[in-house]
Amino acid sequence: MIDNKIDIDFKAFPTTRYQGSKRKMLPWLHETFKALKFETVLDGFGGSATVSYLLKKMGKSVTYNDKLRFNYLIGKTLIENKNVTLKDKDFDDLLGTNSYVTYKDIIQKNFKDIYYLPQENEWLDHVVSNIVQMNHYTGKVLEYKKAIAFYALFQSSIIKRPFNLFHRSNLYIRTNDVTRNFGNKTTWDKSFDYFLHKFKDEANSLVFDSGFQCQALNKSIFEIENNTYDLVYLDPPYLRKDGTNETSNYLKCYHFLEGMSNYDHWKNSIDYETKNRRFLNSESDNDFNKGNIYTTFEALIDKFKDSIIVLSYKKGGMPSIDFLVDLMKRHKKKVTTRSMQYNYALNRQNGNAKKNREVLIVGI
């Protein structure tokens, strides 16, 4: 059991280069959560799981949810899993050639010269095949072993990508022999073996039993049947005022990871008309797009009106902060806001850093 009065070591949290991750905001979020009385909590758009991990460290019964499967596997690794780790023998099997595995070449055939070098594509196909067909465990243990392996693979794949994203086919940024003023060629050139081992060890170190029941879900927020959580934390996709959301469209930015998590069915989901082999219908989020964003938020707040709601949003988006505050007030006795300046890596590149303010809207 975790005593949530004990100071939390934020340096010992998962490292992530996930676009939109709240990792650097965790101390600020912790201040807000500490001031609220709750035991059960839903993290409705769980993403990198850093906020869920904070809530688990605080001794709460956490339900992590994300509709993308690769994120769900991260939540399964860090939030639902209490005591299963990936042993040295498991790791050796991930890298080895196993007689019980049928090896496929989905990445080699479909992603040549897009994200990784040819030998790296071969490596990825090999390791994903080993993860998917892992069979020397059963039940929940097997599920958690696979989830940890995928966690390590996802983190390894992100760290070796320019901008840590898959929204464009830009392998040339790694391979061109030019003077660089951004990126980290030393990191990009390290082997997948090296990073897989590094992130396997990290995942193992993060597994713990809080003493409370925690779970991971893989659903749309509107498919969640239980709406009796004491607190619901919402960090939904963000739309700019013009209705665009390229870096908040996580399927568009991380479709490669989503494909690996659905490896056996990946080929049927690829849009072969796109240069970087995105998923079919990945241009817009059916729940959060310009055409329905207002009704979506109205339905979202109404769904969880009986819970404390902590809504993370950015100033300057669609809908406006004022709209969201007014919406919360229709259901809540008391609504407060807090804000802080926060800079995202891609915003530093395009000069918009000073315009960013992260806002918390709390409805009690």
Distances (CA, A) of 315 to 59, 124, 294, 308, 327: 31, 39, 16, 21, 16
User: pLDDT tens per residue, the chain (364 residues)?
Assistant: 444 455 799 988 988 877 778 888 999 999 999 999 999 999 999 999 999 999 999 999 999 999 999 999 999 999 999 999 999 999 999 999 999 999 999 999 999 999 999 999 999 999 999 999 999 999 999 999 999 999 999 999 999 998 899 999 888 888 886 665 555 888 998 999 999 999 999 999 999 999 999 999 999 999 999 879 999 999 998 888 765 665 568 999 999 999 999 999 999 999 999 999 999 987 655 678 888 899 999 999 999 999 999 999 988 889 999 999 999 999 988 999 999 987 655 444 444 545 678 999 999 9
Say if 335 falls within a structural domain: yes
Tell me which residue range forms the domain holding 288: 10-363
**Overall domain count for the chain:** 1
Quick one: which of 255, 280, 261, 282 has its CA closest to 269? 280
The per-type count for the chain, helices as H runs and strands as E runs, is: 14, 9
Say if 224 falls within a structural domain: yes
Residues 6+ apart with CB under 8 A from 122: 105, 108
Q: What is the pTM of this model?
A: 0.92
Say if 175 falls within a structural domain: yes
Say if 313 falls within a structural domain: yes
Say if 80 falls within a structural domain: yes
Say if 2 falls within a structural domain: no
Say if 36 falls within a structural domain: yes
Say if 1 falls within a structural domain: no
b/e string for 286-300 if b means 16 or more Cβ within 10 A? Answer: ebbbeeebeebbeeb
Q: Other C-beta atoms within 10 Å of 215: how many? A: 13
